[in-house]
Amino acid sequence: MYSVPEPEVAERMRAAHGLAATKLAVTAVAPAEAWGWRGRTLSRRVQTSSGPGWLRLVHAPAAKAGGKLWEGPQAAEAAMPRTLPRPRLKDHLTWTAGPDGYLAELYEVVGEPTITADEPILRTAPKLDDGWWATLRRSLDTIARVPTDRVSIRQAYLDRAMPQYLGEAVDTKVPAWSTAHGDLHWADLTGPTLTILDWEGWGVAPAGYDAAMLHAFSLLVPEVSALVRLHLNHILDTPAGRFSELVVITELLQTISRGDSLDLEVPLRQRAAVLLNHG
């Protein structure tokens, strides 16, 4: 969870969340709020006619209230195998109010906490057993095989951004593509039992993209980044996997240039140097 946004945003989102609860005939059962980045989302535990649930509200400007991110969870519910450890989407609705667009999603409750509570970056080592890592490995392999026409990363973006952040000599051609969750970081994973959350941005990406992202967000805890490489070596220790690491590093360096995740810059640049000098 991120911090509570500025009062005007918080008030608007709380009112919209209450409206969504009424429309979906559910009742908030606890005052605890789970906020997304800059108040873009607000989630709370609710009670439904059949038991506990989790109501997530997403905001976007009305003109952008649609498209890939808006439809991602619904598309995942239809396309992803039921064996994947992810929360089931029970219901949803959308509406606009003046300049604001909203998407409300009613999920089943996930009993486990996320590995990190308020940011994607890992700062302390979690206690995760071999079974957790084996489930993650199987899950990423399963996701990679799901056919889709959704796109998470485009070649045109890489052609533009990779030379800007990694140097003009970098090869930007994607060696292989596969389906990815698209935002696999520590705030989207639960433990000690694995559930993969937030399926907004899934789609086709460079092969190995999810493993590369999790590795990048682990760099401040070397023993965990080493575990990522150990358990996902069949993905990362390949030309496609190393390329995907450079893709993720590019994206994060761009984020850093905008003022976010500043403490990742040095380890990201160090990792990029290793990858670019790989024989």
Q: Which pLDDT belongs to residue 2?
A: 72
Q: Which pLDDT belongs to residue 20?
A: 97
Q: Which pLDDT belongs to residue 61?
A: 94
- Digit-coded pLDDT (tens) for 40-59: 999 999 999 989 999 999 99
Task: List, in sequence order, every residue forming a beta bridge with 42; answer none if it has no partner.
Answer: 35, 57
Separation of alpha carbons 108 and 57, rounded Å: 14
* pLDDT surpassing 80 at residue 126: yes
- Digit-coded pLDDT (tens) for 232-265: 999 999 999 999 999 999 999 999 999 888 999 9
Q: Is 62 helix (H, G, I), strand (E, B) or coil?
A: helix
Can you tell me the mean pLDDT for 1-12? 88
Of 270, 271, 212, 276, the closest CA to residue 244 belongs to: 212
The lowest-confidence range among 4-8, 193-197, 270-274 is 4-8
| Contacts (Cβ under 8 Å, ≥6 apart) of 24 | 48, 55, 91, 93, 104, 106
pTM reported for the whole predicted model: 0.92
- Residue type (1 letter), 206: P
pLDDT band at 1 (very low <50, low <70, confident <90, very high): low
- Digit-coded pLDDT (tens) for 69-124: 789 999 999 999 999 999 999 999 999 999 999 999 999 999 899 999 878 999 99
Q: Which pLDDT belongs to residue 38?
A: 85
Of 6, 5, 18, 1, the closest CA to residue 97 belongs to: 18
- Digit-coded pLDDT (tens) for 157-204: 999 999 999 999 999 999 999 999 999 999 999 999 999 999 999 999
* Residue where the block lists tokens 């290793």: 274
Separation of alpha carbons 47 and 232, rounded Å: 38
The lowest-confidence range among 6-10, 66-70, 119-123 is 66-70
Task: List, in sequence order, every residue forming a beta bridge with 190; answer none if it has no partner.
Answer: 114
Q: Which class for 262: exposed (0-12), middle (13-18), buried (19 or more C-beta within 10 A)?
A: exposed
* pLDDT surpassing 60 at residue 279: no
* Residue where the block lists tokens 């220790």: 237
3-state secondary structure 3-45: CCCCHHHHHHHHHHHHHHHHHCCCEECCCCCEECHHHCEEEEE
